[in-house]
């Protein structure tokens, strides 16, 4: 929940940094430096947490800023006095709620707030909805959480979805046929490790390759790592495209996601996804068309038949996600601000 002095909630530090490092590598090096206004308001002001400086949220802000022609700069932290701008982009909804009270002048500009997935916070849902309905757009990482907040009172006109991305040059397509089921994740309990163990045992004729870090912390790691059809690799991110090229099927077992980006990367490589219905998986996977979906928390005996079906799928998976590049992501956010500027209903 919210900590003292308005700071954003923090995960266990090592796990948090592992996740941020993985996501930052997914988006690549930080793009062009800022282009601040010399006088008057900035065209775009990006607001992100101080602890995010140099990491994924900072990188995403810079992707969006550097891919448009106006002036832009980044402000860090919840206590910052924000300069005036025509468009404010908040990389986290908690930062927006704090600054709405601290810097009420932001209401004079257009406000975009990025929302990946819900977390436990000190604000009631009523307080959140009231604040979100004062934005120009709430920018959701997937449809599910947009729809959930609309059901709770968010003005539907305020909710928009801009899906995450992968680099199609870094993750080229390959011909399936190597017979490997791939996974890509640092270790968290929400990644359903027990279900993975059950699947590896249930499908002894299939090979599993897990790319990740920290899985030695799994309580049943000895059982999982001892199975002959299971391989675990901790490799630098530069090796991920080569390792992804071994995947025929990509398995995502998480119970809560905003993405995940590794799912998009695997599909860029033409692997067939078998994924839980969380994050943007339902947005990019058509069940039986370019992959398969299962309910969050489904047991291994429900998932295993879908994995087997995935090996028989002949679809060109890459073709269904090739448009989801980081350049397209930035254009999507720009379009929301521009559309709002031309909309009577949403003009600020």
The CA-to-CA distance between both ends of the chain, in Å, stands at 31
The first and second tokens of residue 187, run together, are: 């270790």
pTM of the predicted protein model? 0.77
DSSP 238-302: GGHHHHHTTEEEEEE--SS-S--HHHHHHHHTTPEEEEESSTTHHHH--BTTTBEEE-TT--HHH
Do 146 and 52 fall into the same domain? yes
Kind and range of the H or E element at 233? strand 230-233
Please list the pLDDT of the chain residue by residue as tens digits (348 residues).
333 333 344 444 444 445 545 555 555 555 467 888 888 899 999 999 988 787 667 878 888 998 888 999 999 998 889 999 999 999 999 999 999 999 999 999 999 999 988 887 788 999 999 999 999 999 999 999 999 999 999 999 999 999 988 889 999 999 999 999 999 998 989 999 999 999 999 999 999 999 998 999 999 999 999 999 999 999 888 899 999 999 999 999 999 988 888 999 999 999 999 999 999 999 999 999 999 999 999 999 999 999 999 999 999 999 999 999 988 999 999 999 988 655 544 434
User: Would residue 206 count as lying in a domain?
Assistant: yes
User: Would residue 278 count as lying in a domain?
Assistant: yes
The CATH number for 249's domain is: 3.40.50.2000
- Residue 25's pLDDT is what? 57
Do 299 and 236 fall into the same domain? yes
User: Would residue 92 count as lying in a domain?
Assistant: yes
Q: Which of 23, 22, 72, 10 is nearest to 47 (CA)?
A: 72
Do 333 and 302 fall into the same domain? no
User: Would residue 122 count as lying in a domain?
Assistant: yes
The CATH number for 100's domain is: 3.40.50
- Residue 59's pLDDT is what? 79
The first and second tokens of residue 189, run together, are: 């309990």
User: Would residue 170 count as lying in a domain?
Assistant: no
Domain ranges, residue 333: 4-165+325-341
Q: How many domains does the chain have?
A: 2
- Residue 18's pLDDT is what? 53
User: Would residue 238 count as lying in a domain?
Assistant: yes
Alpha-carbon gap, residue 111 to 86, rounded angstroms: 9
Q: In what order do the strands lie in the sheet with 230-233?
A: 230-233, 207-211, 180-184, 247-252, 272-276, 292-294
Alpha-carbon gap, residue 98 to 167, rounded angstroms: 34
Kind and range of the H or E element at 114? strand 110-115
Do 192 and 159 fall into the same domain? no
Do 329 and 296 fall into the same domain? no
- Residue 39's pLDDT is what? 85
Q: Which of 302, 253, 257, 309 is nearest to 283 (CA)?
A: 257
């Amino acid at each position: 929940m919210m900590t003292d002095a308005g700071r954003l909630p923090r995960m266990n530090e090592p796990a948090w940094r592992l996740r941020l490092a993985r996501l930052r590598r997914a988006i690549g090096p930080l793009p062009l430096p800022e282009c601040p206004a010399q006088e008057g308001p900035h065209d775009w002001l990006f607001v992100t947490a101080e602890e995010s400086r140099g990491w994924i949220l900072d990188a995403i802000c810079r992707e969006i800023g550097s891919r448009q022609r106006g002036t832009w700069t980044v402000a860090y932290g919840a206590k910052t006095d924000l300069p005036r701008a025509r468009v404010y982009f908040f990389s986290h909804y908690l930062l927006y709620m704090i600054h709405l009270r601290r810097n009420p002048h932001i209401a004079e500009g257009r406000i975009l707030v990025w929302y990946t997935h819900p977390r436990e916070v000190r604000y009631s849902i009523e307080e959140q909805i009231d604040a979100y309905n004062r934005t120009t757009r709430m920018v959701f990482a997937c449809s599910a959480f947009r729809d959930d907040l609309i059901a709770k009172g968010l003005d539907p006109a305020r909710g928009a979805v801009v899906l995450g991305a992968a680099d199609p040059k870094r993750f080229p397509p390959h011909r399936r046929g190597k017979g490997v089921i791939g996974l890509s994740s640092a270790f968290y309990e929400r990644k359903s490790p027990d279900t993975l163990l059950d699947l590896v045992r249930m499908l002894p004729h299939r090979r599993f390759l897990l790319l990740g870090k920290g899985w030695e912390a799994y309580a049943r790691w000895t059982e999982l790592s001892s199975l002959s059809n299971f391989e675990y690799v901790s490799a630098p991110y530069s090796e991920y495209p080569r390792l992804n090229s071994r995947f025929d099927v990509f398995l995502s077992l998480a119970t809560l996601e905003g993405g995940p980006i590794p799912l998009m990367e695997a599909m860029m490589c033409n692997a067939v996804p078998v994924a839980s219905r969380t994050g943007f998986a339902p947005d990019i996977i058509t069940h039986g068309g370019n992959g398969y979906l299962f309910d969050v928390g489904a047991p291994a005996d429900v998932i295993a038949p879908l994995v087997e079906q995935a090996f028989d799928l002949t679809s060109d998976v890459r073709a269904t996600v090739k448009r989801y590049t980081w350049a397209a992501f930035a254009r999507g956010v720009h379009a929301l601000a521009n559309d709002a500027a031309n909309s009577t209903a949403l003009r600020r």
